[in-house]
Amino acid sequence: RKEVEQDPGPFNVPEGATVAFNCTYSNSASQSFFWYRQDCRKEPKLLMSVYSSGNEDGRFTAQLNRASQYISLLIRDSKLSDSATYLCAVGERGGNKLTFGTGTQLKVEL
């Protein structure tokens, strides 16, 4: 089983749609969880940290399910500018390596 697994997509959605991505991780000792956004040939940009209680930032909502070892990202009211690859990243303990998934590609269309 891969350490961090994501559906590669692409997810093609119309503008204004709601889209959800999931990411599963294999190491139950994982302690930190993040969603990054990566545009083509650019660096990963931190979108949000993911907490057990769930967190929301505008149109973006992230959830963590430790029992099932997955995290999710929900994007509401999709915009053309949301088109990118969304990377899930998991850390075993603070201050050390992140293990990334392969990313899920989102294409928002008119």
Binding site for another protein (CB under 8 A): 32, 34, 36, 38, 41-46, 49, 87, 89, 91, 94-103
Q: How far is the CB of 37 from another protein (least distance, A)?
A: 11
Pairing of strands 32-38, 4-6: unpaired
Q: Which CB sits closer to another protein, 11 or 103?
A: 103
Q: Which CB sits closer to another protein, 78 or 85?
A: 85
Q: How far is the CB of 2 from another protein (least distance, A)?
A: 10
The radius of gyration of the chain from alpha carbons, rounded to an integer in Å, stands at: 13
What are the start-end ranges of the E strands in 7-77? 11-14, 19-25, 32-38, 45-49, 55-57, 60-65, 70-75
